[in-house]
């Protein structure tokens, strides 16, 4: 199989449709279909099971996928550069939950780029888990380590959350009184990770103001109410203060996830080290600033 065959096969496998693959490759669906048909004819086997719902890998396609991904990794240079410790270049896409993407990654990535001006960084902020198997991103930051797939996972750092509300409002004396305030939080049926399910600790099933976005929740709290906030986000909302810090505190963690086949990439490994160190430092800096703002 040549490189053109590999990229067409991978595009269809990841998009599970000719139309989706066509958008990735900038080709029309009919052309993609003909290319897949010719590839299957040359291999003498069907690579996909076709149905009205899309294209799903056949058993032969499943066997071919790891080799195709390995070839992709060998033929692509996502972080080009010279030998040794030359600066990083090319494009890298980092997927992250929107709290991390909004309040941590911009500063961390700016610092990395200052040392590597030829590097282009894309931040994919999603209120769901980033799908690395479909190459939505080169790296992903998650709040739970994945338990499936050919992935490398490493813990980056712990972070903390506390209840917060506007500084001009009277803070509750205890958790029982906190329940008298309107609650701000996630839309219950859109919580995509169990680590984001905080409000059970308040003994409240009702969320009066809800969003699937951490950034929107922060803006809601600026209008009133009470809710859990990442300590590292509080410096971006000077109207808010931590309340009941001694009564309730949450600790979660960020994990960095990448493709297993990237293990031997020295350049990507250097980026992972810089990204992890930067995130640890930025969480520590912002949490220290937030600690001074408690009722």
Rounded CA separation 210/217 (Å): 7
Of the two residues 71 and 124, the one the predictor is more confident about is: 124
For strands 119-125 and 48-51, give the pairing. unpaired
On the question of pLDDT at 31 being above 60, the answer is yes
Residue 244 phi, psi dihedral angles, 5° rounding: 55, 40
Look at residue 161 in the predicted model and tell me its pLDDT: 93
What band does 127 get if pLDDT is binned at 50, 70 and 90?
low
Q: Where are the beta strands (DSSP E) in 76-150?
A: 90-96, 119-125, 139-142
Residues 186, 62 within the same domain = no
Q: How many domains does the chain have?
A: 3
**What's the pLDDT at 3?**
67
* C-alpha to C-alpha distance for 6 and 70, rounded to whole angstroms: 10
Tell how strand 90-96 and strand 139-142 pair up. Answer: parallel
What's the rounded mean pLDDT across residues 85-106? 86
Residue 79 has pLDDT above 60, yes or no: no
More confident residue, 70 or 229: 229
Q: Considering only CA atoms, which of 74, 36, 84 is closest in space to residue 58?
A: 36
pLDDT over threshold 80, residue 104: yes
Residues 191, 237 within the same domain: yes
182 occurs within a structural domain: yes
78 pLDDT above the threshold of 50: no
Q: What pLDDT shows up at residue 12?
A: 92
Domain, as residue range, for 34: 3-75
**Does a structural domain hold residue 81?**
no
pLDDT, residue 186, reads 84
Q: Are 16 and 138 found together in one domain? A: no
What CA–CA distance (Å, rounded) separates 203 from 176?
9
Q: For residue 77, what pLDDT is reported?
A: 42
Tell me the pLDDT of the chain averaged across its residues.
83
Give pLDDT tens digits for 248-262: 889 999 999 988 777
Please check whether residue 295 lies inside any domain of the structure.
no
Q: Measured on CA atoms in the order 149, 257, 249, 164, is the torsion positive or negative?
A: negative
For residue 194, the model assigns a pLDDT of: 76
Residues in the chain: 295
Residue 83 placed within a domain: no
Question: 84-88, 144-148, 194-198, 288-292: which has the minimum mean pLDDT?
Answer: 84-88
Average pLDDT over residues 138-164: 87
- Say if residue 218 is in the same domain as residue 197: yes
| 174 and 243 housed in the same domain | yes
Which of 10-14, 91-95, 143-147, 162-166 bottoms out in mean pLDDT, i.e. has the lowest? 143-147
Sort residue 97 into left (φ over 0), alpha (ψ -120 to 50) or beta: beta
Q: What is the CATH number of the domain that holds 286?
A: 3.40.190.10
* 20 and 151 co-located in one domain: no
Of the three residues 75, 110, 128, the one that is the final residue of a domain is 75
Q: CB atoms < 10 A from the CB of 100, how many?
A: 27
pLDDT grade for 84, boundaries at 50, 70 and 90: very low
Q: If you write DSSP's letter for every residue of 209-273 in order, what string do you get?
A: EE-S-HHHHHHHHTTS-BEEEEGGGGGG-TTEEE-STTT--EEEEEEEEEEGGGTT-HHHHHHHH
Query: What pLDDT shows up at residue 88?
Result: 78
Q: Write the pLDDT tens digit of every residue in 162-183.
A: 999 999 988 888 877 777 788 8
Cα–Cα separations (whole angstroms), residue 224 to 78, 167, 208, 280? 45, 10, 11, 31
- pLDDT digits 0-9 by tens, 180-215: 788 888 887 777 677 777 776 666 567 888 898 999
Q: Is residue 84 part of a domain?
A: no
- Of 292 and 274, which is predicted with more confidence? 274
Q: What percent of the chain has pLDDT over 90?
A: 32
Other CB atoms within a 10 A radius of the CB of residue 43 amount to 15
Asked whether residue 141 falls in the same domain as residue 128, the answer is yes
**What is the predicted pLDDT for the residue at 294?**
67
Which one has a higher pLDDT value, 236 or 91? 236
Domain check: are 243 and 260 in the same one?
Answer: no
Residue 61 lies in a domain: yes
**CA angle 193-275-163, nearest 5°?**
45
Statement to judge: residues 136 and 258 lie in one domain? yes
Question: Do 97 and 220 sit in the same domain of this protein?
Answer: no
**Residue 20 maps to which CATH number?**
1.10.10.10
In a domain, 85, yes or no: no
Question: In this structure, are 247 and 163 located in the same domain?
Answer: yes
β-strands 90-96, 119-125 pairing = parallel
Q: Same domain, yes or no, for 49 and 60?
A: yes
Query: Would residue 80 count as lying in a domain?
Result: no
Of residues 31 and 81, more confidence is placed in 31
Q: Is the pLDDT of residue 295 over 70?
A: no
């Amino acid at each position: 199989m040549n490189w053109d065959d590999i990229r067409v096969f991978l595009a269809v496998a990841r998009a599970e449709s000719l139309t989706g693959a066509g958008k990735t490759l900038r080709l029309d669906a009919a052309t993609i279909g003909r290319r897949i048909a010719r590839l299957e004819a040359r291999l003498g086997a069907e690579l996909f099971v076709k149905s009205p719902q899309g294209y799903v890998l056949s058993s032969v396609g499943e066997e071919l996928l790891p080799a195709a991904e390995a070839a992709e990794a060998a033929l692509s240079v996502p972080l080009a550069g010279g030998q040794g410790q030359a600066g990083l270049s090319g494009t890298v896409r980092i997927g992250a939950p929107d709290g991390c993407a909004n309040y941590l990654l911009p500063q961390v990535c700016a610092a990395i780029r200052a040392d590597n001006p030829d590097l282009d960084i894309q931040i994919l902020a999603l209120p769901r888990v980033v799908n690395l198997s479909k190459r939505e991103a080169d790296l992903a930051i998650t709040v739970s380590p994945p338990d499936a797939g050919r992935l490398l996972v490493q813990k980056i750092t712990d972070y903390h959350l506390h209840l917060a509300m506007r500084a001009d409002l009277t803070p509750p004396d205890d958790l029982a009184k906190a329940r008298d305030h309107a609650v701000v939080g996630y839309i219950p049926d859109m919580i995509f990770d169990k680590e984001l399910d905080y409000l059970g600790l308040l003994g409240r099933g009702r969320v009066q103001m809800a969003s699937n976005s951490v950034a929107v929740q922060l803006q809601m709290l600026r209008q009133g109410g009470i809710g859990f906030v990442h300590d590292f986000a509080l410096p971006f909302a000077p109207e808010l203060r931590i309340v009941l810090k001694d009564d309730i505190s949450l600790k979660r963690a960020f994990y960095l996830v990448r493709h297993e086949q990237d293990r031997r990439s020295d350049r990507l490994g250097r980026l992972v080290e810089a990204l992890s160190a930067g995130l640890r430092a930025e969480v520590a800096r912002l949490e220290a600033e937030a600690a001074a703002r408690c009722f």
